[in-house]
Amino acid sequence: MASGQYQSTEELICDALQGLREQVHRRGVPISPDTAHPASPPQSPDDYLQALAHALRTGEFGRARQVAMEGAERYPAYDVLQTCARVLAPSTVRAVPASAASRALVKANNAWMKAHWQDYRGQWVALRDGQLVDAASSFDDLVAHIGDPHGVLLTKIH
């Protein structure tokens, strides 16, 4: 997403899932008709890929994740299962403590908004370090005027 190739997380995930489907198809894993889950658990890497393909085809993404994780754990040398498990794994978030400087900037921006919100009600504003950079009636206009938004708070005053 950082590269701009994808507009949303959903678009990225859909593309990744499509890639997984294509990998499973290229490997020539036979795909059985859409029936209920088999009574016995998968017994081979290809069984896991078939179960994964079925889950993806039927929209059971939670099941697909489970199958991919189990298959990758059971067959660590099987690259396709490792890739599927990595793509379908839950995302991870790492919290980074805010520095004293970043907390001060947030306080300065909040103070500006408390003092000036009535003057800019209904407008989009760009703030940096507690100072107004620009204001506009639409988000697109605001971004067009300020250029690089790095380090700038963009918000609408209601």
pLDDT above 50 for 102: yes
**pLDDT above 60 (res 36):** no
Q: Which of 21-30, 32-41, 95-104, 142-151 has the lowest mean pLDDT?
A: 32-41
User: Measuring CA to CA, which residue among 60, 36, 75 is closest to residue 83?
Assistant: 75
Q: Note the pTM of the prediction, 2 decimals.
A: 0.43
- Least confident stretch, 21-25, 47-51, 56-60, 88-92: 21-25
- Split at pLDDT 50, 70, 90, the class of 34 is very low
Q: Which parts of the chain fold into alpha helices (H)?
A: 9-26, 45-57, 61-74, 79-88, 100-116, 139-146
Q: Find the mean pLDDT for residues 113-141.
A: 95
Q: What's the pLDDT score for residue 30?
A: 54
Give me the mean pLDDT over the 102-113 stretch: 94
Phi–psi pair at 146, nearest 5 degrees: -90, -20
Mean pLDDT of 108-126: 96
Yes or no: say if 36 and 52 are a contact pair by the CB < 8 Å rule: no
Residue 100 has pLDDT above 70, yes or no: yes
